[in-house]
Amino acid sequence: MAKWIRLDSYNDKGGELTVLEKKLPFDIKRIFFVTNQQKDQTRARHANRVLQEGLICLAGSCEVLLDDGRNRETVLLNDKTACLLIENMTWIETSNYSEECVLLVLASEYYDEQDHIHDYAAFKQEVLSKS
């Protein structure tokens, strides 16, 4: 469903440098970030058939609901040195954004609408049909 990847971070009198190199199990093909979300707004609400994602909260915090069709958990993203690696066929919803939240998303594939499942019932059916 998902796992945490610890990023290398270096501090000195000049500031902090955090590096994401050779940590993800895929080449990054798409990068985007989410900002200026209302606290009560929910985003994502989908699963991907092939695409995998790495989520890093660069500032502030937000919550991510993860659901593999059998198990469900909500995790807090609030550490810029931690990347949440989300496997394909995991339903995700992001919510409870803090005012200053900057959520960076690293994707294994270019955007393809056909890879997205936007209906939760259809997602569950597809997951259960493969088991």
Catalytic residue, from 23, 30, 45, 46: name it.
Answer: 46
- In whole angstroms, what is the distance from residue 4 CA to residue 104 CA? 15
Neighbouring residues of 125: CB distance < 8 A, sequence distance ≥ 6: none
The yes-or-no answer on residue 46 being catalytic is: yes
Q: Which residues are catalytic?
A: 46
